[in-house]
A and B are shown apart, each in its own frame.
Chain A
Amino acid sequence: MPANTKYELKLGAATREAFGKTLAELGRENPNIVVGDADLTKSTMTTFFAKEFPDRLFECGIAEANMVAIGAGLAMAGKIPFVSSFSAFVMTKGFEQLRCLVAYPNVNLKVVGTHSGISIGEDGPSQMSMEDLALACALPNFTVLCPADEVSTKWAVRWAAAHQGPVFIRTGRPKAPAIYQSAAQFEIGKAVELVPGADVTLVATGLLVAEAIKASDLLAAEGISARVLDIHTIKPLDEEALARAARETGALVVAEEHLVDSGLGVRVAQALARTVPAPVEFVGLTRFAESGSPDQLLDLYGLRAPDLVAAARKVIARKK
C-alpha cells in the first residue's frame, strides 16, 4: 500500500490492558484511588491493581448495579473510585444507579467499560456493547472518553483520576494498533488531527481511528486527500474542529464501533447542524452481531478501511 501517512499501526497493548496498568500506577501515587469490579478482574485488567492493593479493590461479585452504587458511596466519602466491568453490563445494569446516584448529584465516580463493540469476537451479542456511548452521553455531568490506543488510554485514565466529576471511559478487548508516541500530548475535548487533508474528513473514535488512517492511505492512492480526526473525547465534543473540517473539506465520514443511530455520528451531525451544515456519511453498526473472530466480524459488519473509503466516495459525490 502506498503509505502517505507516517503511521506504522503496529499492534500494541489492548486499551483495557493500558487501563489496568495505568490504574495500578495511579494506585501507587494516590492512596485515595479505589477500585470496584464485578467478577471480571482478569478481563477488565483491574487484576494489576488488585495484586498490589488488595485492600482497595472491592470485589462486588456479579452485581453491577450494586457495584455502581457502592462506588458512588465511596466517592461521596472522598475516595476516587474506578468501577469496571464489560461495558455491556456496567452501563446497562448500572444505568439507573449511574443516573440517580452519580450523574444527578455529580459524584466523582469513574466508570470504565471494557470489551466494547463487536471486536470481542466469539462471545457474541449479549456481551457486546453497541449502545454504551449513547447511554453515557445521555448522562448529564459525565465526560465521555473513547481512546484509540495504549498511549491515549493512559492519558484518559490519568485525566479521569485528576478530574473532579463523573467520567466514562470506553475500552476494548483486542490488541489495538499503536497510533501515538509515548510523548504525545492530549487535551480534553480537543480532537487530534492525525492526517491533514482537504477533500473529505474521516472522523473516527476508538478502534476505528486506525481504520481511518488506513482509509486515508487508500484514498490518497485515488488522489483524494482525506483528513483524519481522532475524537478521543465524545463529550464534550470538539465542535470547533468539526466545523473547521466541514468548512475546509466540505464533507465528512464518521466511523465508530457503535450503533450509528446513537453514537458519535449523531453527535457530529448535531454539532454541524448548528455550526457548518455539510454532507455526512456514517460507518458503524446497525444490528446485533454474532460470534466469530474479531477480524471476521469487523469485516462482515463493515468496520474496515474499505468501508470508510466507500463512504468517503459517496459523501464526496454529495458535495455541491
Chain B
Amino acid sequence: MHRISNPTDLAVICRQIRRHIITMTGAAKSGHPGGSLSAVEVLVTLYWDVLRHDPSNPKWPLRDRFILSKGHAAPVLYAVMAECGYTPVESLNTLRKLGSIYQGHPDIRYIPALEASTGSLGEGLSLALGMGLAARLDRSPSRTYVMLGDGEIQEGQIWEAAMFGSFNKVDNVCAIVDYNKLQLDGAVKDILELEPLAAKWRAFGWHTLQIDGHDIPAVQSALSEAAATKGKPTCIIAHTVKGKGVSFMEGDPKWHGVTPNPEEVELALKELA
C-alpha cells in the first residue's frame, strides 16, 4: 500500500476514522465506541505507515499482520480496513446487522482479510506468537503486531504468552497495550490494578517502551524501535484516553459499551469536523 508518513496527513485520516466510529456505532445502536476511539492513532500509523500489506492481495504470504485482540473495538478496525480498501466504506453503517460483514466482533468468516476472529479477551497474544514463530521458521520478514486492552491483560493467558514470547525470543512480534485506564466496570486501578506495568513486561523479558498513544511521531518511533529490536519481543505501552476525540466521551467509562444517540452523533461529528 502507498505509505503515508507525514504526521499531519495521518492525523487527517485519524479524524476520518473517528467520524466512521461515531456514525457506525450510532447506526448500530450497540457496540463499543470508547475503546475504538482510544486506538485510532496506533491503528492508522500501523496501517498507513508501518505494516507491509496489500489490500488488493490480502493473503500475500510475506505481509505483516495485525491482530485486534481486544475484538470489541471492531469499529476502529473496520473503519481502517475499509479506508485502506479491503472492504466497502459505504456499508460500514451496517455494523452488527444481520448479514453484515461487519459483525459485532471481528469474524474471519465474513472478512477473510482479517488475521483472526477475536472477541474472547486474552487470546490474541498467543496467536501472534504462533504467527511469529511460523514466520521465523519460514525465514519470512513478516512481523506480527497485536493490540491488547489494558483490562484484557488481566487474563492469565496473556502472561503465559508473555513468558513464552521472551523465552523463545520471538522478536518479530510486537504487542501494543491500549492503556486507556478503563475497562467495562470502571477504572482499571479500581478493578485490578496493573501497575507497575512497564516493570512487569520487563520482568517477563520484553523490550518495553512507554509512549503517548495519541502522539503520532511517538507511535512511529516506537514501532520502528520495535522492528529494530532483536533477541526479544517488544511491548509498547500506549497511554491513551478512552473515547479520545469526543469531549463528552473522553475518560468516561460509560462509553465503553454505550453508543451515541442521534443528537450525540451530531455533537460528536461537529467536534470531529
Contacts and interface: CB of A to CB of B under 8 A. Distances in A.
Interface of A: 37, 39-43, 59-63, 65-66, 88-89, 92-93, 121-127, 288, 290-293, 296-297, 300
Given A61-B192, A291-B97, A122 B121 contact: no
Interface string B98-129: 11100111010110000001111110000000
A65 B120 CA distance: 13
Contacts of A39: 151, 154, 183-185, 191
B188 to A, nearest CB: 8
A251 B173 CA distance: 58
Interface string B23-47: 0000010110000000000000000
Contact of B156 (A37, A66, A125): A66
The 10 closest A-B pairs by CB, nearest first: A126-B119, A61-B192, A292-B98, A61-B154, A124-B104, A122-B96, A291-B104, A123-B104, A291-B103, A62-B154
Contacts of B156: 63, 65-66
Given A62-B121, A63-B154, A122-B104, A291 B98 contact: yes
Nearest to B183: A39
Nearest to B94: A291
Contact of B99 (A43, A125, A292): A292
A39 to B, nearest CB: 5
Contacts of B155: 62-63
Main secondary structure of the interface of B (DSSP, over half): loop
Interface size class of B (residues with CB under 8 A): 20 to 34
B178 interface: no
Given A290-B107, A292-B97, A292-B98, A122 B28 contact: yes
Contact of B192 (A63, A65, A125, A127): A63
B64 interface: no
A59 B119 contact: no
Nearest to B110: A290
A61 B105 contact: no
B71 interface: yes
B15 to A, nearest CB: 27
A123 B98 contact: no
Interface string B146-167: 0000011011100000000000
B185 A41 contact: yes
Contacts of A123: 30, 104-105, 119
Contact of A127 (B96, B100, B119, B191): B119
A126 B154 contact: no
Contact of B120 (A63, A88, A292, A300): A88
A291 B96 contact: yes
Contacts of A93: 120, 122
Given A126-B105, A291-B103, 16 more contacts: A40-B184, A40-B185, A60-B192, A62-B152, A62-B155, A63-B154, A124-B96, A124-B105, A125-B117, A126-B119, A127-B105, A127-B119, A291-B97, A291-B104, A292-B97, A297-B98
Contacts of B97: 291-292
Contacts of A37: 185
A296 B185 CA distance: 29
6 contacts: A62-B155, A63-B122, A63-B156, A122-B30, A292-B97, A292-B99
The residue in A43, A121, A126 that gathers the most chain B C-beta atoms within 10 A of its C-beta is A126
Contacts of A88: 120
Given A63-B155, A292-B99, A126 B117 contact: yes
Nearest to A296: B98
Contacts of B100: 291
